[in-house]
Amino acid sequence: MTSRPAQTGALPTREKIDSKFKWTLENLYSSDREWEEDYNVVERMIGEIAGFRGTLGNSGEQMLRWLHFADDMNIITGRLGNYAFRRYDENTANTHYQGMMDRVMSQHARTSAATSWVVPEILSIPRDTVETFIRDTEGLEVYAHHLDEIIRMQEHTLTPSEEELLALSLEAMAGPSNVFSMFNDADIRFGTITGEDGGEIEVTKGRYIQLQESHDRRVREDAYRALYSQYGTWKNTLSAMLSGQVKKEMFFARARKYSDTRTMALYEDNIPEAVYDNVVRTVNENLAPLQRSVRLRKEILGLDAVRPWDLYVPLASEANIYFPWEEAVETVREAMQVLGPAYSRDLSIGLTEGWIDVYENQGKTSGAYSAWTYGAHPFVLMNYTNTLKDVFTLAHEMGHAMHSYYTWKNQPPVYGGYTIFCAEVASTCNEMLLVEHMLKTRKDRDLQLQLLFHFIDTIRGTVYNQALFAEFEQFMHRSAERGTPLTVDLLSEKMTELYARYLGSDFGMDPLYAMNWARIPHFYRSFYVFQYATGLSAAVAIARNILDGKEGALEQYLNFLKSGSSKYSIDLLGDAGVDMTSSDPIAATAALMDELLDRVEDLR
Ligand SMILES: [Zn+2]
């Protein structure tokens, strides 16, 4: 820990940055020429796809030949995209790599079009024939789960001509979601407010969080009113968009013979509906820690009530605590030692041998991510500025990276990815281990408070807020399915009721805040947000078990990291020792929040 400030001044060009802080994309392709060669290989392969059409049901051998061919093509396609996108992200002003990226995307679109017959063809083969193929063909049993994922859609697949009609409707059906994103990303404007320094400042979505973190309450409220009143102005249009989206889902659910939209959304990854109900129920049974955090916020800020514009202002004093890169690496390394010697060794390789692009440079893409395709180590993009938040981002992204790395090392290509349901477990588990480690080893009071509030806010944002949205989504779809129109009043009244119930009596609701239903992009991706709550709770449960030295917990977790998508998500987590159909993981996360609040009270 040091009080050296983050770097300031003009950004360096990429050439000026020491190569030890840059990722090694040469591990994908040593030159653009090598990339071109692979690009042409895929071009040739696209031409060979048609030769498989109509043959997959002929024999197990033929099906296996196709699956191998598809694997090979996917690996090369993935690598081509990985290289072009990473090069582009190094400097988004580079038109050469922009061009390569466009070519990959267009090639990918052609591949998708050329393979669009595959799933329908497999679906047309009777299930017992596929099972016989798997039993009798050496090498095909590896694909049993993959084929099951396809075949189980048979129940909800219609006749070819009906399917054709559904496919024809897709572009028009994307209307509500396209309209919303045009409105929300391009057209809506929030006007200006007077900033902290008295100057005029335009409120944008990008600046909004920063303005909500201002210690000047007037600035926070002005920004809040600027943003929400605009959504309020368009409320009828916005409810029509959302209603259109829900009706689209209802159309597909009915056409494909699902009992309702939620069943359809959870069917694909085979997630039991009990998991969803359990998130909503268990969070509702455990609202006390959330309400306690609101009360504490009220006390620390010295308010009569916490209003919507008080929810994001930081509570810990922002003492200047900075972490140079080397110290961040060392801290993350130490925190993960509890995951055993093999993980530690592999993590060290990842941290130091060309996986990570550390610093910002002119033109580099913003944010942080871990990207990966089968057959090479992952790449982690950072824009490291020495803050505590950056150290957490590093732990988080390396969690994803290690999950990808172990999956690659242990799974065949067909299971080389992982679902959203599982993805955030590995990253959040690392964050959790980092908090625990730092709380144990760093006794500076300001830092301790920052750590505690960081984690409390994470649980509030990821478990409680998302459960609230999940409950709202459920209400919205159920209402529409019962024939109740999704009017502005219906949606706003529900939001108001939910915020009052979740945040408790120390929260002072504001009428504009009821408009929250109008601004959540995820509502255009139905029944998605509950997975944030399950992901974090699973990670908390796993990290707890490991830190408590529970027998078998570490081994189970390491196996989970090696499993990719070789089973359905719920089963993978079950193997990792977490039953997401039970209330335990979410209840334990609520209990942890309570414990963190105790620790804050002790330090105050
Ligand atoms: Zn993540």
Pairwise CA distance, residues 306 & 212, whole Å? 13
Q: Is the dihedral of CA 586, 591, 595, 598 positive or negative?
A: positive
Domain ranges of the chain: 25-157, 179-259+296-312+465-524, 322-412
Q: What CA–CA distances, in Å, run from 218 to 189, 252, 304, 306, 311?
A: 20, 47, 15, 14, 14
- How confident is the model at residue 9, as a pLDDT? 62
**Alpha carbon of 134 to ligand 1 centroid (Å):** 36
Residues of the chain with pLDDT under 70: 1-9, 319
Q: Is the dihedral of CA 535, 536, 541, 542 positive or negative?
A: positive
Q: Which residues contact 549 (CB under 8 A, 6 or more apart)?
A: none
Q: Look up residue 466 and give its two tokens.
A: 């998302």
- How confident is the model at residue 163, as a pLDDT? 87
Would residue 353 show up in a list of annotated catalytic residues for this protein?
Answer: no
* DSSP-derived secondary structure for 391-405: HHHHHHHHHHHHHHH
**Alpha carbon of 529 to ligand 1 centroid (Å):** 14
H helix or E strand, kind and range, residue 356: strand 356-357
- How confident is the model at residue 6, as a pLDDT? 45
- How confident is the model at residue 185, as a pLDDT? 87
- How confident is the model at residue 8, as a pLDDT? 52
**Matching CATH number, 25-157, of 1.20.140.70, 3.40.640.10, 3.40.718.10, 3.40.630.30:** 1.20.140.70
Q: Which residue has the tokens 């993959």?
A: 146
Of 121, 397, 471, 473, the active-site residue reads 397
**Alpha carbon of 399 to ligand 1 centroid (Å):** 8
Strands 356-357 and 369-371: unpaired
What crossing angle do the helices spanning 235-255 and 465-481 adopt, rounded to 10°?
70
**Alpha carbon of 426 to ligand 1 centroid (Å):** 8
Instruction: Provide the Cα torsion 279, 281, 285, 289; round to 10°.
Output: 30
- How confident is the model at residue 10, as a pLDDT? 80
**What type of residue sits at position 536?**
L
**Alpha carbon of 427 to ligand 1 centroid (Å):** 6
Pairwise CA distance, residues 476 & 265, whole Å? 15
- How confident is the model at residue 167, as a pLDDT? 86
Tell me, letter by letter, the H, E, C secondary structure of 359-387. CCCCCCCCCCEEECCCCCCCEEECCCCCC
Beta bridge partners of 356: 380
**Alpha carbon of 269 to ligand 1 centroid (Å):** 19
Strands 379-381 and 356-357: parallel
Pairwise CA distance, residues 574 & 577, whole Å? 5
DSSP secondary structure letter of residue 6: P
Q: Which of 454, 508, 594 is nearest to 310 (CA)?
A: 508
Does pTM top 0.75 for this prediction?
yes
